[in-house]
Structure 1
Amino acid sequence: MPSIRAALFASATLLASPASYALDNAEFEQCMAQLRAQADEAGIPAQVISRSLNTVKLNERVIELDRSQPEFTSSFSDYYTRRVSETRIETGRKKYREQQPLLQALTREYGIPGHYLVAFWGLETNYGGFLGSIPVLDALSTLACEGRRGDYFSGELMNALRIIQSGDVEASQMEGSWAGAMGQTQFMPAIFLKYAIDHDGDGRRNLWESEDDALASAANFLQGLGWQREQRWGREVTLPDNFDFQLTGFAHQRSLSDWAKLGVRMPDGQPLPQADMEAALVVPSGHNGPAFLAYQNFRVIMGWNRSESYAIAVGRLADRIAGGGALHQAPVPAPRLNREQVTKLQKTLNEQGHDAGAEDGLLGPGTRQALARYQQANGMVADGFPDQEVLTHIGVLP
C-alpha cells in the first residue's frame, strides 16, 4: 500500500502559518478509508475497526499544536521552577506516604525506588490530576493523515486499536494528550503494549483509573530501559575555579575518582563518594548555575523523555520527595529565544566554522557544544550557555 502521505498530499502545498491546514474533511475521510484498510491487513478484527474508527473526527487543534511546538525555547530555569515546585513536592510526599505498600513491592520486583516512580507520575500528569482530554484515536488519526510524520502515527494508531482489541479500554474512554500519550504515565500506544501491566488483577491494563497499574507499568518500563538497581540518578556538585567547561556533556564521561581529581566536590565541600561509577557533568544554566554529575540512570530517564531538563527535574523531584533539600545553587535565567533566533544562532555558528549541525531552530546539545567553541574562541567562559552576553556578541540579540 502506498504511504498515506503520498496518496493524499502529493500535490498539496503546506502553508507557512501553523494555523493553516492542508487537510480538509474530504481528504481526511479518504485517508481514514486507507487506515481502515491498513488495520484490516494488520489482522485487527472488523468489529474493532468499525466501532473504533467509524466515529473518528479530524481535530485541527492537534495539527496546530504539532506544527507550532515549541515556538519559544524554555530555559532550564523556567522549566525547573515550574516542574519542581513546592506544591508538587508536597503533593509528591503525600502520595509517596499513601502508596508505601505498593511502592515497596514494586521496588522489590523491579528495582525502582518508590520516590522515582512518584516523581515520574508527578511530572507526567501531576499525580493523575490531568490525563489529557483529547480522544486518542482522533489525535492519532489526524496526525497520521496530516502527513508530516504519517508513518509513525499510523503505526501508533494500529497499536491503539490492538489495545482496544485486548479489552483493556473502550475506544470512547481512550483519552490523552494531543500527540496520543495516554494514562497516568502518558504512554504512547507502542509503550503501552510492551510495558503496561494489570497489577491490580482486574483483567485490564487500566492506566487511566488504576494507580496500581500505572505505577507498576512505570516500574516495568524503567526496568526495560535498563535502570541500575542501588544507583542514584545523579547529584548536584560544585566545581573549582577555572574549571574547563568543555569537559561537560556525555562525550566526556569519566569515573568519580577522575572528577574528584579535577576538583569536583559535593555542594557542602565534602569529597565525592568513592564508588566504581562513571558520570557526565551537566551544567544546564551555565557556569553560574547548578552543576550535576549524571549517572547511568540519568540516561535511563532520558529513554523516557530525551530532554536533559526533564531528566534533572525527575531526579531532583525524586530527591525532594524522599526528603532532600533545595538546590544549593539556583538555576540562572536565560533569554527566551524563538525558533527564528535559534536558527540565526546556528547559521552564524556554522558560518564561523563551529559546526552547530542542522539549522533547525532547536537548541540541542550540538548547538550548545558549537556555542562553547565560539565562546572559547572569543575569550568567554566556554559553558555553551546562551546568556545575554554571548547572544549579543554573536548578533542574535541586540
Structure 2
Amino acid sequence: MFRYAFLLLALTAPVAAQEAPEPRPDRSVMDAAAQSALDDWASAYRGRALVQGVPRAVLDPVLDGLTLRPEVVAADRDRRAMQQPVWTYFDTAITEERIEAGRAAMARETRILEAIESRYGVEPQIIAAIWGIESDYGRDSALDDGLAVLASLAEGARRPAAFEAQLTAALKIVEAGDVEASDMSAAIDGTMGQTGLLPTTLIVHGVDFDGDGRRDVWDDSADALATTAAFLSSYGWVPGQPWGVEVTLPDGFDYGLARRAETQLPSEWAELGVTGTDDAPVDDFGPASILLPAGAEGAAFLIFPNFSVLERYDATDAWPLAVGLLSDGLTGGDALAADWPRDDRILTEQELTEMQRLLTQSGFDTFGIDGRVGPLTIAAIRAFQTDRGMVPDGYASLRVLRALRD
C-alpha cells in the first residue's frame, strides 16, 4: 500500500488557482455515466470469464451489483504519481515508527520467519521490510473491495486487458477456496494481501505455509510472508548478498560508469576510488553497478543482483530502495550518510517532453518523445552534459532543462 504513497501525494497535491476556472460537469452525472459504463463492461466480461473457466457460482455474485471505484481509475490515469521525488516517498515509507514496529513484528514472528528463510533462503529483514512497506506489517486498513477495484481498473484504466486478466485470476483464487470474495481486499492499484502481490502472481507463487488448506495472504501472515519469499526465490534471490550498499564516489569520478549495464566487483570499483561511506572497500558480494537515484547531488549506491530481484516486485527505483533501506534499519543499519537535493524538484511530464524535444533538436537524439526517462534519454542527457561541461550524471534536472532552453 505504501508503494503508492506517490499516488496519494499526487492526487491530494494542491493545484494552482486559475483566474477563470471552467465549470465542471455535475459529479453525480459523471458518476452515473461511469457506473453505466462499468455495467456494460461487466455484461461483456461475463461471457469472457465463463469461457476462461470461471464458474457462474463465483462470477454472478461479484458482477451483480458491482460498484464503481472512480478513485482507483483516477489514480491509474494520473501521471503526476510518477513525478514525486524519491526522498518524498522515503519520508513516508521509512520512519522511525515503522522501523520500531518492524522490529517488534520480527520478534513476534521469529519462528515463522526463520522457517521461511530455511525453506526459501530469503532473509527475515527483507521479508519484513516488504511487509512493512506494503501493509504496515498487516495493520493497514486503507484497503478496498479487491474485486471492485480490479473491475473498475479493467473497465477504465490505461491497461484494461492487463487488469481484466488480474480480475479473472482473482476470481479463480476465490473459486479455489483460498479466500471469500468479500474478504479479498486490495490496494488502489489492485495488489493484494499483506505483502502486495497481483492475483496472477498469487496463483503461481501462493504458499499455504501453515498447512490449513488455504493460501490466505490476507488474514494469515505466515502464508503472506512465505508467498513473498517464494516469489523472490523464484527469481534468483542470492542468500547472504545485500540488496545494495551506500557508497562514496571520488572527485573526478567518471559518471558515464554509473549505469546499470556497467557491473564490476566492489574490489574493482574500489580501485576506481568507490568505497563505502566508512572509506573502506565494500566486500565482494558479487557484481555490482552504481545507482544514482537523484543524480550526482544525492546518495550513491552499489547495487547487487538482489536489487534486480526486488525490481520484479516493482520496477521503479524508489520501491526497491525503500525496501532495502527499511531492511537495513530493521537490523540496526546506519542512516544514509548523504542527503537528497531537497531544494530541487522533479520535472513534470510536460517538462520532460520539452527536454526530450530540445535534446533531439540539439543533436542529442532521445529516439522518442514521450515524457518518460529511459536509458536512451539518460544517454542523451549525459552527452549534452558532457558537451556543456556539466557533471554527466544523466539526471533529468531543472538545471539541464534550463541549459537546453538557453
TM-score, normalised via structure 1 length:
0.89
Residue 286 (structure 1) aligns with? 295
- TM-superposed CA distance for 1:283, in Å, is 1.3
> Cα–Cα, structure 1 residues 223 and 317, in superposed 2: closer, same or farther, change >3 Å?
same
The structural deviation recorded for 1:29 is 2.1
Query: In the TM superposition, what are the counterparts of 1:265-276 in structure 2 within 5 Å?
Result: 265-275=275-285
1:19-30 paired onto structure 2 within 5 Å = 24-30=34-40
Tell me the distance in 1 between the aligned counterparts of 2:363 and 2:100.
Answer: 48
Distance in 1 (alpha carbons) for counterparts of 2:302 and 2:92: 22
Q: Is the 8 A contact 1:75 1:335 kept in 2?
A: yes
1:198 pairs with 2:201: no
Mapped partners of 1:274, 1:342: distance in 2: 37
Alpha-carbon shift at residue 235 of structure 1 (Å): 0.6
Secondary structure of the 1:281 match is strand
Aligned to 1:3: none
1:212 to 216, 222, 239: 222
CA contact (8 A) 1:62 1:143 kept: yes
Q: Write the mapping of 1:257-268 to structure 2, written as runs, cut at 5 A.
A: 257-268=267-278
Q: Which residue does the alignment assign to 1:318?
A: 327
Provide the rounded CA distance (Å) in 2 between the counterparts of 1:255 and 1:316. Answer: 21
Match of 1:348 in 2: 358
> How many angstroms apart in 2 are the aligned matches of 1:211 and 1:318?
18
Moved more, 71-80 or 160-169: 71-80
CA distance in 1, matches of 2:168, 2:178: 15
Q: CA deviation at 1:370?
A: 2.5
1:356 CA drift (Å): 2.9
Partner of residue 305, structure 1? 314
Distance (whole Å) between structure 2 residues aligned to residue 321 and residue 53 of structure 1:
43
Once residues 106 and 337 of structure 2 are traced to their aligned partners in structure 1, the CA distance between those partners, rounded to angstroms, is: 24
In 2, Cα distance between the equivalents of 1:355 and 1:129?
Answer: 48
1:250 deviates by 0.8
Give 3-state SS (helix, strand or coil) of 1:70's partner: helix
- Any residues of structure 2 matched to 1:179-194 within 5 Å, and which? 179-194=189-204
Picking from 154, 167, 189, the partner of 1:157 is: 167
Unaligned runs of 5+ in 1: 1-16
Counterparts in 2 of 1:391 and 1:62: CA distance versus 1, 3 Å: same
User: What is the root-mean-square deviation of aligned Cα atoms in Å?
Assistant: 2.3
1:328 counterpart (328, 331, 337): 337
TM superposition shift of 1:21? 8.6
- Residue 310 and residue 72 in structure 1: after superposition, are their counterparts in 2 closer, same or farther (change >3 A)? closer
C-alpha separation in 2, matches of 1:179 and 1:76: 19
Q: Render the CA deviation track for 1:173-232: whole Å, top value 9, x for unaligned.
A: 212122211111111110111112121222222212111111111111111121112211
Could you tell me how far apart the structure 2 residues matched to 1:355 and 1:50 are?
A: 52
Aligned pair in 2 of structure 1 residues 270, 247: CA closer, same or farther (>3 Å)?
Answer: same
SS at match of 1:345: helix
User: Which has the higher mean CA deviation after the structures are superposed, 192-201 or 345-354?
Assistant: 345-354
Check whether the contact 1:72–1:338 (CA below 8 A) recurs between aligned residues.
no
